[in-house]
Structure 1
Amino acid sequence: MPLIGAYIADTYTGRFTMVLLSSLIYLMGLSLLTMSQFIPSLKPCKLNVCQRARSVHEVIFFLAMYFISIGTGGHKPCLESFGGDQFDDDHSEERKRKMSYFNLWNFALCCGLFLGVTVIVYVQDHIGWNVASLILTITMAVTIVTFYVGKPYYRYRRSEGNPLAPLLQVFVAAIRKRKLLYPSNPSLLYEVSRSEKSPGRLLAHTDRLRFLDKAAIIEDEEGIVNEKSRNPWRLARVTKVEELKLVLNMVPIWLTSLPFGICVAQAPTLFVKQAAAMNREISNDINIPPATTYSFGAIAMIISITIYEKVLVPYIRRVTGDERGIKILQRIGIGMVLAVLGMIVAAIVERKRLGIANEEIIQGGNHEVPMSVFWLAPQYGILGIGDGFALVGLQEYFYDQVPDSMRSLGIAFYLSVIGLGSFLSSFLIILVDHITGNGAKSWIGKDINTSRVDNFYWLLAALNGLNLCVYVYLAKKYTYKNVQGRVVAADCNNSDGVELMP
């Protein structure tokens, strides 16, 4: 769904319009859920007694879920990319603020997540789901109004049409000219002059994926053509060729990000299941809901982003002179290392919890293990810090390294890492349960106290460790986007293409 919403925004509606429409659709979904909690004829439960759901209950529920899903698909990729559009890449100070934008964006998201798993969960458990739904609906309505009020002050990027068509044109032109010889000098490849009016920024030529360069070779019969008379299916600009190279270069990085997405999926699933089987008492009258333990990770991510933005980046900038601090892929790699460490710590903690659970079972047993839920804080914390590096880095990477006309799609690619990571996590759990279910103990059974989730965490640590080796190799070979017309801080093949004003 995010890919569809992002494609529509980049091609037709523009990001502002898509954000507004998708937010209204999301609000409709929340409103239906709230109505089903307050209108007597729509309530399936009366006086805590739930009757068999009637057709109207099912229709309202699924309709609300579809509205929320569609709204999320348009809202998530387009709002973040629209925020990034407010900064001018050609202005050095705004470019630095844009690098901070992704940190501030995730700081705000984590604050919202923290309130969601603490305040909203508390209201659901102690007051009622109807009040919680009403709070969320009112909050969403206020945010939509606030967003719309700022309309006169926003910067808008004009849509350049279908962003995928130029990529296909380059591929077709390269195939048509596959038998031609490469020119002796890359400057002989076709590109519009800087004086000629052209939408978007011009990209510098790179030596990777050279077979695509043939799409920009000017054949004798074509001569020197102007931009209006050029047939894009036969002759492509160097910038369009480089844009296709950018997209193809991202595929291996995207694939090696998926195991990290599997690790991220454990925090709201198996970690919460562990919490449900542990002692969650703070005092005689206060118990932590299992879902609230997710706030440990949110707090850690907030702290890590703050330290990174306010301490590490300014220090590294002074030392290296690089305005970004560390390269994007280096930041993602640090997060992947922390994910491996988080899975190792999770396995050790779970093994200790199972030891206590086994003692309790021998002595008569209790489903809740007398082990404090705060033992989960280290694994949540390490993963939260890792998210502060990897997730924010992935957002910045998929926004910055895609063609300028595909930035909403870029954020959608980032979201696909999280979404597909969750699907792969579910598939891996099913596969592991099927393989280990024939033995004495299934690794992931219905009762977590008789399972071996610690072995599953060790498996994830091993898979992510091997994946990290592949990722490091790819990151070292990666060529970052290089924009013409500015002085590049370092060699194109070894830097992240940070541009400095001449």
Structure 2
Amino acid sequence: MEQEMEKRKGGRIEESDEEKWVHDASVDYKERVPLRASTGVWKASLFVLAIALSERITYFGISSNLIMYLTRVMHEDLKTATNNVNCWKGATTLLPLIGGFLGDAYIGRFRMVFFSSLVYFKGLSMLTVSQFIPNLKPCHNDICDRPSKAHKLVFFLALYSIALGTGGFRPCLESFGADQFDDDHFDERKKKMSFFNWWSFTLSVSSMLATTVVVYVQDFVSWGDACLILTMFMALTSIAFYAGIPFYRYRMKPKGNPFMPILQVLIAAIRKRNLSCPSNPALLYEVPMSENSQGRLLSHTRRLRFLDKAAIVEEKYTEQKVSPWRLATVTRVEETKLILNVFPIWLTSLMTGVCIANGSTLFVKQAAAMNLKINNNFKIPPASMASVSSISIIISVPIYDRIIVPNLRKVTGNERGISILRRIGIGLAFSVIVMVVAAFVENMRLRMSGHENLMSVMWLIPQYLILGIGNSFYSIGLQEFFYDQVPDSMRSLGMALYLSVLGIGFFLSSFLIIVVDHVTAGKNGKSWIAEDVNSSRLDKFYWMLAVINALNFCLFLFLTKRHTYKTVQRKATEIDDGCHSDGVDTVA
């Protein structure tokens, strides 16, 4: 009896010793196995959130008021300014596809963040310089009809330097922050789900500060002072981020192009296209978990069965080492399926980017044409109305994370409360509602535009509020989806896919404006998108977007019924409390 108790006691000590270390293929800054108590989780991710706060305050401070700078200071017309804003924002959200790929494949996520922050800081410094050096200022005199060519050159060069820095900064920073949580540890996995909520909460705080404090300084003090403050804040938080190096967990060194294994699976499946898949998936080729060098193993799924042929073991190759172009593991096959599986969801998510694009362009110009006075002494900057969306996210995210999710877990048995795709679907429904509300409000504004008393800007609160609530569902849901549902080796690229939704949404918004302007101007010469908002018919444009979003929502529901989640083979020793992940969840 005493010997048995000693064994149990020894077993507990051994298990406790195992809990001390993180065995998820990550290392500490000295390239050792990380100690769980002193690395990762919130103690490390707080440094990540701090620099994310600074970077997003800078980005939102520039992007939310950029259209006003282009129209008021650089004297561009509404269509030109809107397209310039959308092109720049599109660049800041499409360049992460390149940055995410380089970070995953060759450079590493932390190093990519480090180098990108230097490029970002260089762009901010150039933007600041363009506002203070006399020869680079917008105008040499107090009043001018167009800015100097030197200012225009430096200004746009600075903007696209910031876009280039964002390309490596954003996808790798968020995935690096999520890497601080161990997927194979139940408690840390739940905290990772909260990380995406608090990441979006941080971005919303930064958006609120940018669209209130920063925009106020830009409009009523000077753009130069605003740029100087942002540059200094970015420098301080960058130093703080580098101070967190001893607390971070770093993924193993990149192993090259992550698309190569996917190509190998496709070639192997084509080569063995005439073979029949075995009825028992256990007969397919897989490396045991103890010998596996790929990372976590994925369970077999029945979708895209043609690709399973890549994992069929041919008798003539059983006695020798087989080329990966001829034989792939089940995990490699499933990773290929994941990439093909996320594409339809990515496609249906593009319209959310169009809604967000309108929130920082046409919504702002609406606000500028309304009564901005709160009282005789205070006037709201038009771009500050975007803070309503940020405030709605700041309020809704903690409620969702701390109250709704714990209760939903008890009801559904799902770690996330509701599945990722259900969360995205709720957000897409809000994107339809926001366009309908915006159309009604704009129609009212146009009818009152000829009156002496302009319509109050407070009427825009509902559409900004709904936009923010929808954002708290689909944006966070898309971040989780593209991080969790891609291969582990492509997570920065997954975050870049999420950002590309916004980027292509901005370009798509510009494309729609060009098409609508061409089509509507052809009938009677009066375009829906004219030189100013009072001669435009933005209400009709919003109605069109509402219909497109509704059709897109129906397509999304159709696709989710056929979607299968990523299924990971958990370790037998993993601690669990009965909840299951989306890996075994199904979408109703």
**TM-score range normalised by the length of the shorter chain:** over 0.9
1:393 aligns with 2:477: yes
* 1:45 match: secondary structure: coil
**CA–CA separation in structure 2 for the residues paired with 1:299 and 1:220:** 63
**CA–CA separation in structure 1 for the residues paired with 2:137 and 2:454:** 38
Task: Give the alignment of 1:178-257 within 5 angstroms.
Answer: 178-223=273-318, 229-257=321-349
**Is this contact kept in 2: 1:477–1:493, CA < 8 A?**
no
Q: 1:107 to 1:248 in 2, by over 3 A?
A: same
Task: Give the alignment of 1:20-419 within 5 angstroms.
Answer: 20-46=114-140, 48-50=142-144, 56-158=150-252, 159-223=254-318, 229-357=321-449, 359-360=450-451, 370-419=454-503
What is aligned with 2:539?
454
Could you tell me which of 458, 462, 473 is aligned with 2:558? 473
**CA–CA separation in structure 1 for the residues paired with 2:371 and 2:503:** 31
Higher mean alpha-carbon deviation, 178-187 vs 150-159, is at 178-187
Structure 1 residue 43, shift from structure 2 partner: 2.9
* 1:264 match: secondary structure: helix
Structure 1 residue 38, shift from structure 2 partner: 2.5
Q: 1:230 to 1:143 in 2, by over 3 A?
A: farther
Q: 1:41 to 1:204 in 2, by over 3 A?
A: same
Q: CA RMSD in A?
A: 1.9
Read off the aligned partner of 1:342 and give its amino acid letter: V
Structure 1 residue 286, shift from structure 2 partner: 1.1
Structure 1 residue 162, shift from structure 2 partner: 1.3
**CA–CA separation in structure 2 for the residues paired with 1:13 and 1:294:** 36
Read off the aligned partner of 1:215 and give its amino acid letter: A
**CA–CA separation in structure 2 for the residues paired with 1:179 and 1:350:** 60
Structure 2, gaps ≥5 residues long = 1-94, 573-578
Structure 1 residue 52, shift from structure 2 partner: 7.0
Structure 1 residue 407, shift from structure 2 partner: 0.3
Q: 1:491 to 1:95 in 2, by over 3 A?
A: closer
**CA–CA separation in structure 2 for the residues paired with 1:46 and 1:451:** 34
Structure 1 residue 391, shift from structure 2 partner: 0.5
**CA–CA separation in structure 2 for the residues paired with 1:370 and 1:195:** 71
What is aligned with 2:580?
489
**Is this contact kept in 2: 1:87–1:97, CA < 8 A?**
yes
**CA–CA separation in structure 1 for the residues paired with 2:539 and 2:150:** 43
* 1:370 match: secondary structure: coil
Higher mean alpha-carbon deviation, 307-316 vs 96-105, is at 307-316
**CA–CA separation in structure 1 for the residues paired with 2:332 and 2:299:** 11
* 1:438-485 C-alpha deviation (Å, 9 max, x unpaired): 344432222322322111111111111111111011112110000013
Read off the aligned partner of 2:224 and give its amino acid letter: N
What is aligned with 2:85?
none
* 1:437 match: secondary structure: helix
Read off the aligned partner of 1:253 and give its amino acid letter: I
Read off the aligned partner of 1:443 and give its amino acid letter: W
**Is this contact kept in 2: 1:480–1:495, CA < 8 A?**
yes
Could you tell me which of 545, 548, 563 is aligned with 1:463? 548
**Is this contact kept in 2: 1:178–1:214, CA < 8 A?**
yes
**Is this contact kept in 1: 2:413–2:580, CA < 8 A?**
no
**CA–CA separation in structure 1 for the residues paired with 2:482 and 2:400:** 20
Structure 1 residue 315, shift from structure 2 partner: 1.2
**CA–CA separation in structure 1 for the residues paired with 2:291 and 2:239:** 42
Query: Percent identity over the alignment?
Result: 59
Q: 1:309 to 1:492 in 2, by over 3 A?
A: closer
**CA–CA separation in structure 2 for the residues paired with 1:247 and 1:381:** 34
Structure 1, gaps ≥5 residues long = 361-365, 497-502
What is aligned with 1:363?
none
* 1:82-121 C-alpha deviation (Å, 9 max, x unpaired): 0000000000100000000011001111111111111111
Read off the aligned partner of 1:284 and give its amino acid letter: N
Q: 1:494 to 1:148 in 2, by over 3 A?
A: closer
What is aligned with 2:101?
7
**CA–CA separation in structure 2 for the residues paired with 1:442 and 1:288:** 29
**Is this contact kept in 2: 1:350–1:454, CA < 8 A?**
yes
Alignment length (residue pairs) = 485
Q: 1:62 to 1:262 in 2, by over 3 A?
A: closer
Read off the aligned partner of 2:454 and give its amino acid letter: P
Higher mean alpha-carbon deviation, 180-189 vs 84-93, is at 180-189
**CA–CA separation in structure 2 for the residues paired with 1:304 and 1:408:** 27
**CA–CA separation in structure 2 for the residues paired with 1:240 and 1:199:** 9
Q: 1:353 to 1:153 in 2, by over 3 A?
A: same
Structure-2-length-normalised TM-score: 0.79
Read off the aligned partner of 1:209 and give its amino acid letter: L
Higher mean alpha-carbon deviation, 151-160 vs 42-51, is at 42-51
**CA–CA separation in structure 2 for the residues paired with 1:376 and 1:490:** 39
**Is this contact kept in 1: 2:265–2:328, CA < 8 A?**
yes
**CA–CA separation in structure 2 for the residues paired with 1:430 and 1:41:** 35
* 1:116-172 C-alpha deviation (Å, 9 max, x unpaired): 111111111222111111101001101110100001110001123211110111011
Structure 1 residue 35, shift from structure 2 partner: 2.0
**CA–CA separation in structure 2 for the residues paired with 1:446 and 1:495:** 49
* 2:516 match: secondary structure: helix
1:436 aligns with 2:516: no
